[in-house]
Structure 1
Amino acid sequence: MAETRQWQLASRPVGEPTMENFELVTVDRPEPGHDEVLVETLYQSVDPYMRGRMRDAESYAEPWDVGDPMKAGVVGEVVASNADEFEAGDVVTGDLLWAEHAVADADELQRVNPDLGPISTALGVLGMPGVTAYWGLLDVGDPNPGDTVVVSAAAGAVGSVVGQLARINGTRVVGTAGSEEKVDWLTDELGFDAAINYKQTDDLSTAVAEACPDGVDVYFDNVGGPITDAVWPQLNDFARVAVCGQIALYNATEVPTGPRKLAQLIQTRAKVEGLLVSDYQDRWGEALQRLSRFVREDEIRYRENVVDGFENAPDAFLGLFEGENIGKQLVKVSEREA
């Protein structure tokens, strides 16, 4: 029987994950059953939310089990199909495994349209991160022309799209990022009005106040922690806060004291709302239609940081917590057959 490789969760990390938490194993390549499809991975996504899945059930609602393969967004090519919807050679995307090959039910896959953009974008600007940005900003954040929108982790896959959508909607856009290269990309290429390098700022609260002289109407929070603390006092009356991620806290070994500064909400009557992209599953196509048009018309630009080689998938994931990536972090696993 043919073989394939997969990454399994070897142990639960304490604090920041390390290579010791991953194990690369060789297994028999699975065969598709009734209404199933065998997919060869072309690109695999790595995302900050995966850190939560590495926790135990007491800490996270849907953890991965130790000894099991982890899951990831994948763009792949159909190798074999027992489903009417797909045939060999189709390019599909879905939430599959950290694996070179995986079997999925047909209803768990979506066909990738290469006319919309490079197939890798189905994991980035034209995939889950882009749709998260679209509905998180436009539905939860609800920006109005003239508003000030602040985006944390603004050079990431979600934040970079949020900021550009906010610009398209006529707002003043301020982003936070962790390097001068990222700050320059935000302001020079993506059209942000201002950007703050939080790693080089002695007084983050003052930096946010100076970048937002009229206060903050919408805060798209990908980070939490000190950056959110700095934004909070600048919230205007009836501001909207969309909580998408908390990467500053994902590796914490103790739960930080909080929630903090809630008195500010009494004064401002600001709204704080968490968001899950799965809540917008039935509106996915609507978002992709507009996002693809914005990309074609160069209204939205994107970057992909592609790590080559399936064996390097954990390194790509760990790099997220070092702030190495600009845009979407991907692993290139294999080439599509001509």
Structure 2
Amino acid sequence: MKLYKFSFYSIILLLAFSCQKKTEECSLDQDILNQNLDLKITRLEDEFFNAETKEDFAYLLEKYPDFAEGYLGQSLYATRDSLISELVAIHQDSAMNVLFDSVKVEFQDISKVEKDLENAFKYIKFYYPEFKVPKVYTFLSGFNSDLILTEDMIVIGLDYYLPTTHTFQPDLPRYMAERYAEPYIVPMIVTAISSQFNEINPQDNTMLAEMIYYGKAYHFTKAILPCTSDQYIIGYTEDEIAECYANEEYIWAHFVENELLYETNPFDITKYIGEAPFTDAISTKAPGRLGRWLGWNIVDDFQFNQDVSLQELMANPDAEQIFRQSGYRPRPQ
């Protein structure tokens, strides 16, 4: 029998905000920012939509061979001409041109994204000097891909990040589409990059291992973007974060009483880790991915109580050890 049910109490929301261990007040480390690193995002949607002839497209494929192969998949086409013909057809598509015009209006200036990403790369290189700064492109994906990341290249599909009021929308559930806005772009990229350094034990297929993996990813992102609000890192609204903290004891009790930490059934793990509008096993008012949120709290406590560096934390593949040594307990309200 489940003794605890997840419920939100609006009367204690203000208290919950004051109980959060993460603060929005911060300052960036100027010594880190003084590194010699200049990032320039290449607006490929401009270059490709300003192309007019097959020769223009052929030139662009030669100019950006990494993009031609890594994003457009040039080698998958029978001939380069077949890829060029497809690009010409896209260029002439009226809906794609409307989408392009909308992107030009909404993202006329991406200097803030560019600067935030440059600062993030400086922070990553501070912790990991071997980190190779990738080339960064924007493009019009036609809602085929939001972000493509390799160690050498990042492609941002700007059409995914148009306002939710726009006529054209990606085929995403509403609760996910709301996270596709400009403030989320850099945190999404940094969280994805964290996987390069996030060591795991491939033999550990427990819920706890998944929780700690995502907890480390979010902890990494917060370390790299210390002045970024938690809502843009985990994708919860401010109210949802406050409500989670207000009900942390209830959430934790649910995991403990139902012996979820060492659950290995993929279906059960997905209910608490995977994308969902809510965690219905607890309550339809509880946001989805609560296992990830709990994992973040556990990892934060481990880093604080054990005083390990970011590099040591990310290199630790032992989810059980991180949990046991975290001393994690829900924050009393």
Q: TM-score range by the shorter chain?
A: under 0.3
**Scaled by the length of structure 2, what TM-score is found?**
0.26
Q: Which has the higher helix share?
A: 2
Q: Which has the larger radius of gyration?
A: 2
User: Which has the bigger relative contact order, CA under 8 A and spacing at least 6?
Assistant: 2
Q: Which has the higher strand share?
A: 1
